Amino acid sequence: MRVVAVKRYGDPEVLEAREMPDPQVNSGEVLIRVKAAGVNFADLMQRMGIYPGVPKPPFVPGFEVAGVVEKVGDGGKSGDGDTFRPGDAVCAITQYNAYAQWVAVPARQVYRLPAGMPFEDGAALPVNYLTAYHAMFAMGNLQSGDRILIHGAAGGVGTAAVQLARAKGLEIYGTAGPAKQEYLRKIGVDHAIDYEKSDFVEVLRKFSPDGIEMVMDAIGGKSFANSYKCLGPTGRLVVYGLSAAAGPDGKKSAARGLSAILQTPRFNPLRLMADNITVIGVSLGKMLSKAGLMRREMEEVFKLYETGKIKPVIGKSFPLADAVSAHKYIHARKNIGKVILNVK
């Protein structure tokens, strides 16, 4: 089968199209013929070798796919006991190996797509929408009327979070660069903030002087400390990435990574108690043992999709063989919404 592999840690050029043996289907697994794979910022960090637990090269990156079930191993049932069958349209969380024509995935990590859902939408849902949904409503318990600040609101998780926030009746603050301000207003961000021209803490405190209920921050470094300043009592700071460690050129930089880590604040438990604030860490990779919880959350996401309350924004699609360009596109912060690899 054709794959795109990381031949060594480094910039996007280390991605290489190559042939690999077809995966074998073990007991409890489902073999999927991949139609589309989602590209996430975590993939970029995998490629650079700075993602926690990243394999040694060569390896196939990527965390999510959508496609068609080709074969089901013994006991290949979904988490709710339903048996998958060849021909089923599904999406899946793969934990690597997504940039490929075929992938074998534990059945508990596979979800049957709603009727008529395009494969590109299916590949855009699992990582972005589960991350946002789990952070906002499972861990964060946000309620209608609460206020949320979403950093990178025009990106993959960002657009998912904006749509979920609108569906639940939240007041939305969102940051993005100057070229994306009009887009933020178009998708329903109540307070669009240009992070190049404005101090987001000052802007937010102008409209919400008492602080807000949640900030979603995947930037890291000093941004975590500034995001904390936006919260009021009962506020929740959600941390789910460290994009400050990755530069626009896509090259691994020990200096940049060290700077981001050194600028990351340490949250003293006594201060958290005094401020009545919660810091929440979210990583889907650490949730795979919570298959039942993830399935319930995915079912809620599917319901919102079927009722028209959410719809993945596919910013740009690339063929699998051009994964290099997909990574460069995200590094340059050009993407609005999701970047997808189409697989033939």
pLDDT 10s digits, 198-231: 999 999 999 999 999 999 999 999 999 999 999 9
User: Which residue type occupies 251?
Assistant: K
Dist. CA 265–CA 178, nearest whole Å? 27
Question: 153 with 184: CB under 8 angstroms?
Answer: yes
User: 3-state class of 129 per DSSP?
Assistant: helix
Exposed/middle/buried for residue 264 (C-beta within 10 Å: 0-12, 13-18, 19+): middle
Phi and psi at 113, nearest 5°, equal -75, 145
Fold of 128-285: Rossmann fold (3.40.50)
Q: Using a pLDDT cut of 90, give the percent of the chain over it.
A: 86
State residue 333's pLDDT score: 87
Residue spans per domain, the chain: 2-125+312-342, 128-285
> What pTM does this model have?
0.94
State residue 74's pLDDT score: 84
Q: In this predicted model, which residue has the larger pLDDT, 259 or 100?
A: 100
Dist. CA 96–CA 56, nearest whole Å? 12
Q: Do domains 2-125+312-342 and 128-285 have the same CATH topology?
A: no
pLDDT of residue 79 exceeding 80, the answer is: no
| pLDDT per position as a tens digit, 295-309 | 999 999 999 999 999
Q: In this predicted model, which residue has the larger pLDDT, 129 or 244?
A: 129
Dist. CA 78–CA 88, nearest whole Å? 12
Question: 147 with 171: CB under 8 angstroms?
Answer: yes
State residue 217's pLDDT score: 97
Question: 42 with 339: CB under 8 angstroms?
Answer: no
User: 3-state class of 274 per DSSP?
Assistant: helix
Name the residue with tokens 């013929």.
33
Name the residue with tokens 């074969």.
71
Q: What is the distance, to the nearest Å, from the Cα of residue 296 to the centroid of all Cα atoms in its chain?
A: 18
User: 3-state class of 70 per DSSP?
Assistant: strand
Fold of 2-125+312-342: Quinone Oxidoreductase; Chain A, domain 1 (3.90.180)
Dist. CA 269–CA 275, nearest whole Å? 10
State residue 219's pLDDT score: 93
Dist. CA 59–CA 62, nearest whole Å? 10
Q: Are strands 2-6 and 15-19 parallel, antiparallel or unpaired?
A: antiparallel
Strand boundaries in 202-313, DSSP class E: 212-217, 231-239, 278-281
pLDDT of residue 260 exceeding 60, the answer is: yes
Question: 240 with 281: CB under 8 angstroms?
Answer: yes
Q: Are strands 338-342 and 29-39 parallel, antiparallel or unpaired?
A: antiparallel
| pLDDT per position as a tens digit, 83-121 | 899 999 999 999 899 999 999 999 999 999 999 999 999
User: 3-state class of 252 per DSSP?
Assistant: coil
Question: 151 with 227: CB under 8 angstroms?
Answer: yes
* Residue whose C-alpha is closest to residue 171's, from 227, 213, 223, 118: 213
Q: What region does 4 belong to: left with phi over 0, alpha with psi -120 to 50, or beta?
A: beta
State residue 76's pLDDT score: 64
| pLDDT per position as a tens digit, 285-339 | 889 999 999 999 999 999 999 999 999 999 999 999 999 999 999 999 889 999 9
Residues 6+ apart with CB under 8 A from 333: 177, 248
